[in-house]
Amino acid sequence: MAMSLNIKILLADDDKEDQLILSDAFHQIGITNAVHFEDNGEGALQHLERSFEENVLPQLIILDLNMPRMNGTQTLRILKQDARFKHIPIIIYSTSLNNIERDECIRLGAHSYIIKPLTFSEYIKSAEYFYNLCLPAPNEQ
């Protein structure tokens, strides 16, 4: 799979190892320089402000649930209340399945709630899923 479009994904996750593994998974499927990493929700919001000013918003936002300073749920709530960003699909990406948290995130407007992979092949499947979400629908091309 080669990158045919200028895909931009914002991923906020304080776990540097998870960032590195997911970055490797994207490289494995032929996608480079598509993911911008931030360490927390505050950093993600600041990045989105800059992206908006430069007119290069990401097609997808992925938020880790448990981050310092501003967690995934807090960040999701802010983004879905902001007219500039509320159209961007947001995936909550967590190590644990907490049904109460998951239901709250979906209620707040998250596209989906995904459990972080355990194996590299699962990370590759996640990277493919994230990439495919960024592609325009066939009737939009």
pTM of the model: 0.91
Strands 35-38 and 60-64: unpaired
pLDDT digits (tens, 9 = 90+) for 44-83: 999 999 999 999 999 999 999 998 889 999 999 999 999 9
- pLDDT (0 to 100) of residue 139: 60
Strands 90-94 and 112-115: parallel
Amino acid at 63: L
- CATH second-level architecture of 16-28+69-135? 3-Layer(aba) Sandwich (3.40)
The 3-state secondary structure of 12-51, one letter per residue: ECCCHHHHHHHHHHHHHCCCCCCEEEECCHHHHHHHHHHH
